[in-house]
Structure formats: structure tokens, C-alpha cells
Structure 1
Amino acid sequence: MRICVYGTGAIGGFLAARLALGGHDVVAVARGAQLEAIGRRGLTLIGSDGRTEVATDLRAAAGAAEVGPVDVLLVTLKAYQLPPLAAELGAVGRSAELVVPIQNGVPWWYFHRHGGPHDGRPVAAVDPEGALARHLDVGRIVPALAFKAAEVVEPGVIRHMITADDHFPIGELDGSVTGRLRRLSAAFGEAAVEAPVVTDIRARAWGKLLGNLAVNPIGALTGATVAETATHPLSRPLCLRLMEEAIAVAAAFGAAPAYGAQTRLRRAEGMHGIKASMLQDRERGRPMEVGPIVGAVVELAALAEVPVPATEAVHACLALLADRATRLTRDGNTVD
């Protein structure tokens, strides 16, 4: 397959490398030092088992104009990067049979082809103006979820943790099982990436969100690793409370997460030395995904009139942290 991976950070870089090593024609859209590194020496994967793999047979691109026609567009950008690039993503996606967004938190596509009173409604915390649905053909959207821990340790080099739970479930928005889903799953399989076809992608998204909501905010606020957050005697109950609130919101929209709170926390307990993505972003001075992981849960809770006091409190702290970081950057590290 001709595959464009748009956004070559930790997860995007992992997939671009694996797909290229699996024999697919891959173009990786990146920027800055990552773009330069990919163009010069490809992508290096370092597994937690000590194995190192180098993918050199892939092409680096700085934007849509350099991509060309593709069969599949994998969108692995952070959620806050998506709306400003909606038109550019739409330009690449017009040639693709499948547009595969992989995003943390409540996804922008959540209510599209959802049915019911909120069908087609934008999630304001992720896509406030509805730009993504305007520029991307929703009929081509086949979401995937990343159950994978990875980190860019230097430009062009990605360290990833290998666990028995590593997988990238994919599903149609209407829950059907189609030929294009099976072809995509097979393409991932050829690259040694498990991508099972599922009929409940929204429930799976909530299941992934449970883990993100439990450890990302606390990690970003405290600097703790995933395992530390999940096992400390005072933060562990808060992790469970955040997940329980999200489960109640999901239920209000007819979704039962595929993974329960205890299951998600047990997975987190084993991630020793792994930093959640929100903490990685904070340490690197990048914007954090507060909107999709926390703000969108608060938004949907208000829509369904479900009380989420713990999530609201954590959201307030994260919003303050994010706004303060923006102000310090703008003002040249001066506090007003």
C-alpha cells in the first residue's frame, strides 16, 4: 500500500518505521529536526527487548504538496494540531481510500455517523469550528486507536515498550465490518503491527481514554511516571475516581468501555520508567493535550448532565498550568 503517515512523533514514527519495514511505500510527514533526521537516515526503533531496527526505505515530506497520491492517510498528529491543518489534511485525503485518525482522548469524529440527537456535532474541545469534518470526507474515516507506549528520544530515534497488550484496533464509524477494514488490518499485519477489526470503536476509544485520563493529568502535574501514578497510595484512588467518572459519561452516550478501570490501572502499574505523553510534552515545552483527554470529558459530561467533580478539578489545574506555560513563553519567561 501507498501510505502517508502525517505526524511522525512517537506513535506516528513507530508506525511509519514498521510499515516501511513491512514493505509498504511510506511517506512520513514531519517537521524540524525530525524531518531532517528521517530524510538523512530514516527512522530507528529501539524496543524494550533491546532489539534495534532501522527503516531507511521511506520518504520524508514537509507537507501535503510533497506527498502525492496515497491509498491510506494515517493522521498521527496531536489533537491540538489538527484544526489548523484541516485543509492540508483534506488535500492529502482526497486521493486516499482510507483516512485513519489516531488520536488520544475523545476524538473529533466521535459524533459523526453516531446517530441520535447529537449526530454530526463537533466536539468543541477538539474541533471547535468543525473544520475537520468540513475538509475531511467523513465517509473515508476509519479510526484507529494506539495501545502502545513510545517516546522520541532524539530526532529519528524512537524507543518503544513491548507488551502483550500492544495493538491498534480499527473500526468503521457505523460499526460495520467492511472489505476496506480487512485490507487495512492485513496491511498492518504485514508490518508486524496487530490491528484487529472491531465493531465498537467508540467503546474502545473510551477504554483507551480511561488510561489516559487516569495517568496523563497527574503525571503532567507532578512529574511522576505512569507506574508511580498508578501505584502511589494517594494518587491511585484519584486515578480510579477519574476513570469511574469517564465510564459514567460514556454510559450516558450508550457506550460501555471495552476495558474497565481496574484493568486499565493494572496495565499502567507495569509501565516502569515510562512517562505519559502529556508529561513528555510538558517537559519538552510543547502544548499538552488537555482538551481531548480532560476538557472533552467535561464537555460531554455537561451535555449529558453527568457530574464529574474530580475531572473538573483536574481540568482546572491543567488549564492553569497550560495557560501559565503559554504566558511564560510569550513573555520571555517573565511572570506577571
Structure 2
Amino acid sequence: MKFCIFGAGGTGGVLAAYLAMAGNEVTVIARGAHLAAIQEKGLTLRTNHRGTEQIKKVKACTAEEYADMPDVLLVCVKYYNIDDAIAFAQEKMNAEVLIVPVLNVFGTGGVMQEKLPELTCLDGCIYVMGEIASPGVIYQSDKMLRVIFGYRPQQEVRLREKAQELETVMQKAEIRAHFSDNIIRDALQKFAFVSPAAAAGAYFNATSEKFQVDGQERELFIGLIKEVEALGQAMGITFTVNLVETGLNIMDALKAGSTMSMQRDIQRGGNSEFAGLVNRVVELGTEYHVAVPLYQQVADWGAKNL
């Protein structure tokens, strides 16, 4: 398949590397020194489980320079840059392109679809631990790599064959892909890990090993998961896994020193997804009449410190 990946950071860069190594045509939309390095040397993927891969066949350009038409547009930016992705899709994509956002923030596909009514925007999520180590170099610290995508309830089902093909193509690229028949449930199950992990990590300014042993960090992480679970139940979602157990299993398997991208962004003093990963849960609590005191505690901390 032919892919355009909007955003070449820890999410988009990892996906670009795996898809290109499997023989797919991949172009990443990037900028600055990262773009220049990829154009000059290709994309480098550094991992603990498969060593270092140099992928020279990954193409790279700016959003303005892109002049192709892919089968699939993967949107892999932070939520605060979602408007840039929407503008790119409006200008560059046609109705035959399947758009799959794989962001941390729950419900991104619906946000994009509302502004792109002529296009097909699924919802999606990803489990991955990746970051830009240096220009042109992506570090995947854990072998976990899973992508879930699907149509929302009542969404017009267009390009279904392409969505089914995407699942197969990703699986052949060693990406655990799943074309879900209940993406709202599956996306919220993923959100129930990344949001609590990011919120608790930022609040305590702690890395993964602090959450792998009993203590206040782990207790907050568990409590935040339970609040997301309560919200999901209020939305009418029946979860297929134990969210606390699943979250702890993921956390306990992480390499020591691991952090969520929101926490790293906060540490760097730049924009972060705090509004989408923390404040949004407080808003949903009000909307669905669910008490979320721990999220409120983290949101109050953010209002004073960020």
C-alpha cells in the first residue's frame, strides 16, 4: 500500500519504519532538522529488541511539498496540532483515501470527520513507546506495537475493503493491527492506560519504575484508571478486559526510565496534550455525572504549574 504519515515523531516514525521495511511505499510529513536528516540519510529506527535499522526508502517532505495521493493517511501528530492535519487533508486528500488518526486523545476521528465530511476518517489508537532521539533517529524503547482502528457507530461505511486490507498490510509489517467492530470501546480501553500513565507521571514527575512497585504513584495510577472505567460504564460501554489489570501489566512490562510523551513535553516546557488527556476527562465527568476527584486533583495541579 501507499502511505502518507502526517507526523514523523515517536508514533509516526515507528510506523513509517515498520511499513517501509515490509515493502510499502511510505512518505512522512516532517519539518526542520528531522526532515532534513531523513531526506539526507533515510530514517533510522533504534530499538532494544531488533537492534538498529537504517531505512533509506522512506520519503520525506513538508506538508506544502506533498504532491501524491496515498491509499492511507495516518495522522500521528499531537492533539494540539490536529488542525494542521485537518488542513492538510482538506487540501491534499481525495475521497479514495482512508484517513486513520492514531493519537493519544480519545475521539479524534470524530473531530476530524466533522470538519472533513467528504472524506472517510476512522477512529484509531496505538500502543507504542517511541520518541525522536535525534534528527532522523527514532528510538522505540519497547517492542510493544499495536494499532486498532474502525468505524464509529452510525458512521457511513466507506472504503471498507481498504480498511480490511490495511489490517493485513500492517500485520505483515509486524504491527499487531486489529480492524475493530467496536472502536469506541477499544479506543477508550487504550485511553485508560495512556491517560492515567501520563497524568500520574506528570503529577509525580516520575518514571515507570516508580509505578511498578507499591506506593503513592501506583495508587494514583490505579485510581485514575478506575475513574476512566466509571466514565466508560456511564457511556454504556462494556469493556472486554479488566482495565486495572491490563494497565498494570503494560506498566510493569515497560523498560525502567520510560515516560509518556505528554510528560516529556511538559519537561521540555513546550505544548502538551494535558488538555486532552486530563482536562477532557474532568469535562466528561461533568457531562456524564461521574465523580473524577483524582483527575480533578491532577487538573488543579496543572492549572497551577503548567
TM-score clears 0.5: yes
Counterpart in the other structure of 2:219:
237
Q: Secondary structure at the match of 1:152?
A: strand
Residue type of the alignment partner of 1:285: G
Matched, 1:192 2:171: no
Q: Which residues of structure 1 form unaligned runs of 5+?
A: 113-121, 123-131, 323-336
Is 1:168 aligned to 2:147, yes or no? yes
Q: 1:157 aligns with which of 119, 125, 137?
A: 137
Structure 2 match to 1:295: 279
Structure 1 segment 255-294 matched on structure 2, within 5 A: 255-259=237-241, 260-271=243-254, 272-294=256-278
* CA distance in structure 2 between the partners assigned to 1:231 and 1:28 by the alignment: 39
Offset at 1:134?
Answer: 4.4
Once the two structures are TM-superposed, the CA of residue 321 in structure 1 deviates from its matched residue by 2.7
- Asked if 1 retains the 8 angstrom alpha-carbon contact of 2:44 and 2:137, the reply is yes
CA distance in 1, matches of 2:124, 2:169: 14
Q: Which one of 118, 121, 126 corresponds to residue 141 of structure 1? A: 121
Q: Secondary structure at the match of 2:125?
A: coil
Deviations 1:102-157 (A, max 9, x none): 01032233xx4xxxxxxxxx6xxxxxxxxx34432376112221111112111111
- Cα distance in 2 for residues equivalent to 1:312 and 1:45: 38
Q: Measure the CA separation in 2 of the matches of 1:22 and 1:234.
A: 43
**Aligned-pair distance for 1:303?**
0.9
Q: Give 1:208's aligned residue.
A: 190
Relative to structure 1, is the Cα distance of residues 317 and 96 closer, same or farther in structure 2, using a 3 angstrom cutoff? farther
* Partner amino acid, structure 2, of 1:6: F
Instruction: Kindly state the Cα deviation for residue 59 of structure 1 after the two structures are TM-superposed.
Output: 1.3
C-alpha distance in structure 2 between counterparts of 1:33 and 1:148, whole Å? 23
Structure with more of its chain in strand, by fraction: 2
Alpha-carbon distance between aligned partners in 2 of 1:50 and 1:186, rounded to the nearest angstrom: 22
CA–CA separation in structure 2 for the residues paired with 1:279 and 1:156: 22
Match of 2:206 among 206, 220, 224: 224
Letter of the 2:258 counterpart: I
- 1:292 Cα offset (Å): 1.7
Are 1:230 and 1:269, in contact at CA under 8 Å, matched by a contact in 2?
yes
Counterpart Cα distance in 2 of 1:253 and 1:285: 35
- Higher mean Cα deviation, 12-21 or 219-228? 219-228
Task: Note if contact 2:72-2:98 (Cα within 8 Å) is conserved in structure 1.
Answer: yes
Aligned to 1:129: none
Distance 1:226 1:105 in 2: 21
Matches of 2:282 and 2:173, distance apart in 1: 37
Give the match's secondary structure for 1:166: strand
Secondary structure (helix, strand or coil) at the match of 2:108 reads coil
Structure 2: gaps spanning 5 or more residues: none
Shift of 1:76: 0.3
Q: Aligned Cα RMSD in Å?
A: 2.1
- 1:66 is matched with 66
**How many equivalent pairs are there?**
301
Deviation at 1:193, TM superposition (A): 1.4
Task: Name the counterpart of 1:128.
Answer: none
SS in 2 for 1:181: helix
Q: Using a 3 Å threshold, how does the CA distance of structure 1 residues 296 and 96 change in structure 2: closer, same or farther?
A: farther
Residue 23 of structure 1 corresponds to 23
The Cα shift of 1:56 comes to: 0.8
Provide the C-alpha distance between the structure 2 equivalents of 1:230 and 1:83, rounded to a whole number of angstroms. 36
Q: Does 1:309 align with 2:297?
A: no
